[in-house]
Amino acid sequence: MKYFCGIDIGASSTKLVLIDENGQIVAKSIRRSGVNYAEASERCLEEALSAAQVDRSQIAASLSTGYGRDNVPWSDGKRTEIACHGKGAYHYVRDRLTVIDIGAQDSKLIHLDEQGNRINFKMNRKCAAGTGAFLEEIALRLDLPVDRLNGLAENATKDVSLGSFCTVFAATEVLSLIRQGETVENIAKGAFHSVVKRIIEMGAADGQLVMTGGVAAHNPLLVQMVGKAFGQDVFVPPHAQFVGAFGAALFAREESEETG
């Protein structure tokens, strides 16, 4: 049995997926990217190989993507996050679709046609607003772990608006709201509203709406809010945080088959 590896080195976390010849995920690994991307990639690979009980020699091809895709010594090739998130999402939705990936430092809106070909894409590069880093900053100002935001936001009693586009200014707004006696629950949901506004500004949805990435995987309320804003249901693929790495693994398998 041959295996194929895809690794997505993001600014915040490194995700790795190992698939078999049939495209089935046999192992995955995730860890903080830290400051040494090569080391993070090696650790993830070792963990996945151990979990799958696969020898390194059985990996037929590997491909890297993400912010640190140039820092994987053992990778056979590389692709952009746009290409890999599109590839991974299309594997589950074999139709026209729009992919929204909310990463740590940027957000992406990707349009694919019925055959999975990319039509166009848009990235949010204005500060870190509308990204995972924005939510982490808000959580920091609220003095709580970022994974508690969703649960708190679900208990909000009213909508609170964070008007600032800049993450730093929005954090200052949060401090002002706290001083005014606003509840943490309402502020958390206000942060979600701010992310949704940034997503909408990138463009319209065409076809099935799909959300990928860690923010979508861990914040179901945010996913619901995005769906409401676009007026349609949102599909979140299995292992949503690993879709980029999965897409990279699928490319590795595809390119290996093409070269024989």
Q: Which two tokens stand for residue 259?
A: 């070269």
- The pLDDT assigned to 34 comes to 94
Distance of alpha carbon 26 from alpha carbon 24, whole angstroms? 6
- Sign of the dihedral defined by the CA atoms of residues 124, 133, 82, 64, in that order: positive
Q: Residue 103's pLDDT band (boundaries 50, 70, 90)?
A: confident
Q: pTM of the full predicted structure?
A: 0.94
Characterise 213 by phi-psi region: left (phi > 0), alpha (psi -120 to 50), beta (else): left
SS3 247: helix
Residue-wise pLDDT tens digits, 111-132: 999 999 999 999 876 666 678 8
Q: What is the pLDDT of residues 77-94, one digit of tens each?
A: 999 999 999 999 999 999
User: Model confidence at 108, in pLDDT bands (50, 70, 90)?
Assistant: very high
Provide the pLDDT confidence category of residue 257 given band limits of 50, 70 and 90: confident
pLDDT for 172-217, tens place per residue? 888 899 999 999 999 999 999 989 988 998 999 999 999 999 999 9
Sign of CA dihedral 164, 166, 169, 173: positive
**Residue 21 pLDDT exceeds 70:** yes
pLDDT at residue 169, rounded to an integer:
79
Q: For residues 90 and 77, what is the distance between their CA atoms, to the nearest angstrom?
A: 21
Query: What average pLDDT is seen over the chain?
Result: 93
What span, in angstroms and rounded, lies between the C-alpha atoms of 113 and 64?
A: 24
Domain ranges of the chain: 3-82+242-259
Encode burial over 118-149: b for 16+ CB neighbours within 10 A, e otherwise.
eeebeebeebbbbbbbbbbbbbebbeeebeeb
Q: Over the stretch 137-150, which tens digit does the pLDDT of each residue have?
A: 899 989 999 999 99
The CATH code for residues 3-82+242-259 is 3.30.420.40
pLDDT, residue 185, reads 96
Segment of 119-128, 163-172, 250-259 carrying the highest mean pLDDT: 250-259
Which two structure tokens, joined as six digits, stand for 18? 């190992």
pLDDT at 72: 97
| In the predicted structure, residue 240 carries a pLDDT above the cut 80 | yes
